[in-house]
Structure 1
């Protein structure tokens, strides 16, 4: 992974996405900081940096595409699909809904016309705390007939998510752990 790009992203994440102060997370846990990755992922340079670093991490040529749970993964997926096209190794994307459509095809995944059953994919996530949301999304992806080959995130909060994903049979590969982010942003 290109360290200069990683440092640029770390500085941008600290400027746009890292907020010190007590908050309650989706997991119900209290934390001394909030990390709103969407602020950086929706910034032009941030989007490109995330897309480029994630694409570099998808180093398995058998991976056919990328996806993740809406809403946090939406800008990450778009960034990777655009950067992958520009770099000549196009990867389509899919989005996992929190609830099925309830009409039409009643599906959980959007973008499936770009995939075949059994295609190997990378799951993308902005922040991993316990990994619960990600594990649910992975189950929906499997139910749709795709194979999750790798799991990538922007930030691993180092609060059990990596272990929970490992127990479910997946290895988490973050761009940053919280410690790395704080060190590289200096």
Structure 2
């Protein structure tokens, strides 16, 4: 079984649920996918790092990968580790949804050692409308970075890809809704 097939199998078992749910976008849906349930397992983490690393290669050159809090953070860590093990290190950045009211009060964590204008690939676990992705892109560009593109683990096929592409960014999706429910 290929790594792509194995990760999909793990996502189907641990992350996908056919149920009514209200999404972060406020939209209602008949299915829910909580990728963290797969990604935070050791095998899922390793497979995710490997698969997303290969997708990031299509968007090179880049200096780092960024993940949006909370679902994208383990993605960034997994890809960063995989890149280091392959002797092509990419730093990880975590993009906060909101600035903490204490400590460093940073929107981005992990970007201080990057050069000005660093090219960053944004990683997302799931996209629906693309709203949270575009907010993260704005935070990265406001900090002086260039977003080289977006790699998403699961595209729900609900307009997110189109919204992100309309903003001038390339989107690479590893899986789509149809990989979980071919009847869609």
TM band (smaller chain): over 0.9
What is the rounded CA distance, in whole Å, between the counterparts of 2:39 and 2:181 in structure 1? 18
CA contact (8 A) 2:67 2:74 kept: no
Which structure carries more relative contact order (alpha carbon 8 Å, separation 6+)? 1
What is the rounded CA distance, in whole Å, between the counterparts of 1:182 and 1:8 in structure 2? 17
What is the rounded CA distance, in whole Å, between the counterparts of 1:106 and 1:91 in structure 2? 24
CA contact (8 A) 2:48 2:79 kept: yes
Once the two structures are superposed, residues 44-80 of structure 1 have per-residue CA deviations (whole angstroms, 9 ceiling, x without a partner) of 1111111001111112442111002110111111111
Deviation at 1:105, TM superposition (A): 4.0
The count of aligned residue pairs is 181
CA contact (8 A) 1:17 1:35 kept: yes
CA contact (8 A) 2:60 2:148 kept: no
Please list every run of 5 or more consecutive structure 1 residues that lacks an aligned counterpart in the other structure. Answer: none
Which residue of 36, 39, 55 maps to 1:38? 36
Please list every run of 5 or more consecutive structure 2 residues that lacks an aligned counterpart in the other structure. Answer: none
What is the rounded CA distance, in whole Å, between the counterparts of 2:31 and 2:60 in structure 1? 37
CA contact (8 A) 1:72 1:126 kept: yes
Instruction: Indicate yes or no: 2:101 matched with 1:120.
Output: no
Once the two structures are superposed, residues 139-158 of structure 1 have per-residue CA deviations (whole angstroms, 9 ceiling, x without a partner) of 00001111000100100000
Q: Which moved more, 1:79-88 or 1:102-111?
A: 102-111
What is the rounded CA distance, in whole Å, between the counterparts of 2:68 and 2:102 in structure 1? 19
What is the rounded CA distance, in whole Å, between the counterparts of 1:117 and 1:53 in structure 2? 28
SS for the counterpart of 2:26 is coil
